[in-house]
């Protein structure tokens, strides 16, 4: 079964009430991961991308140099060290990547989403290569912002071997 989402960006967040203090983030586990898939991708209006829920990601190759391979995923885990359990804070997630062009001719270098972060819990932000146009080499930056202020930015260098083909059945286990 092939996924129909435009992009395999994944993050685990919560919803609820706002937290006013500036967040301080702790970052852990950057690199290639596997994570159980817990939802289909959903196209976000006005974006070139979609959000895919994932279960608890497991780091399999740590580091910021990533070998881009179809159906593989990379990203990082983070949490707010000053957000008490049960409290929620709004954040913005941004991915900047080399220019890609979708089959309909649209192209872009950045996607942005809003979400919330829950106190005393780890969150994950990552990307899974599930579409032919998304496997572009170069620098990828994942940024977490609060009210326009950068809380953390994780840069990854993506290397892509030539001649790759998307599996005929698609990425049925893109994040598992």
13 vs 27, residue with greater confidence: 27
Q: Closest by alpha carbon to 103, among 1, 3, 8, 6?
A: 6
CATH no. for residue 128?
A: 2.60.40.2390
pLDDT at 158: 96
Segment 147-174, tens digit of pLDDT: 999 999 999 999 999 888 888 877 764 4
**Count H helices, E strands: the chain?**
0, 12
pLDDT at 118 exceeding the cut of 50: yes
- Chain mean pLDDT for the chain: 78
Note whether residue 42 is domain-resident: yes
pLDDT at 137 exceeding the cut of 60: yes
Note whether residue 169 is domain-resident: no
Note whether residue 14 is domain-resident: yes
CA 39 – CA 42 distance, rounded (Å): 9
What is the residue-wise DSSP string for 7-23? -EEEE----S----SPP
Q: Tell the burial category of 45 from Cβ atoms under 10 Å away from its Cβ (0-12, 13-18, 19+).
A: exposed
pLDDT at 36: 59
Three-class SS state of 129: coil
Note whether residue 176 is domain-resident: no
CA 52 – CA 172 distance, rounded (Å): 13
Share of the chain above pLDDT 70, in %: 73
Q: Which domain holds residue 91?
A: 8-160
Q: Are 98 and 136 in contact (CB under 8 A)?
A: yes
The bridge status of strand 149-160 relative to strand 65-68 is: parallel
Note whether residue 48 is domain-resident: yes
Note whether residue 111 is domain-resident: yes
Beta bridge partners of 110: 96
Mean pLDDT, range 5-20, rounded to an integer: 46
pLDDT at 135 exceeding the cut of 70: yes
In total, how many domains does the chain have?
A: 1
Q: Closest by alpha carbon to 142, among 3, 4, 7?
A: 7
Note whether residue 2 is domain-resident: no
Write down the pTM of the prediction: 0.78
Note whether residue 72 is domain-resident: yes
CA angle, 121 as apex, 141 and 93 as ends, to 5°? 25
Report residue 15 CA to chain centroid gap. 18
Confidence of residue 55 (pLDDT cuts 50, 70, 90): low
């Amino acid at each position: 079964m092939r996924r129909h989402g435009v992009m395999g960006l994944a993050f685990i967040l919560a919803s609820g009430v706002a937290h006013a203090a500036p967040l301080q983030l702790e970052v852990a586990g950057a690199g290639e991961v596997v994570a159980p898939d817990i939802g289909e991708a959903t196209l976000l209006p006005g974006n070139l991308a979609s959000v895919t829920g994932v279960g608890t990601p497991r780091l399999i190759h740590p580091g910021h140099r990533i070998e881009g391979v179809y159906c593989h995923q990379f990203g990082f885990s983070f949490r707010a060290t000053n957000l008490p359990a049960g409290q929620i804070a709004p954040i913005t997630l941004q991915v900047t990547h080399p220019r890609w062009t979708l089959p309909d001719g649209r192209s872009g270098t950045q996607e942005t989403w809003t979400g919330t972060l829950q106190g005393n819990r780890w969150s994950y932000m990552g990307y899974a290569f599930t579409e032919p146009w998304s496997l572009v080499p170069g620098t990828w930056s994942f940024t977490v912002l609060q009210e326009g202020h950068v809380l953390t930015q994780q840069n990854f260098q993506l290397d892509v071997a030539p001649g790759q083909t998307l599996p005929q059945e698609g990425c049925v286990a893109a994040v598992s």
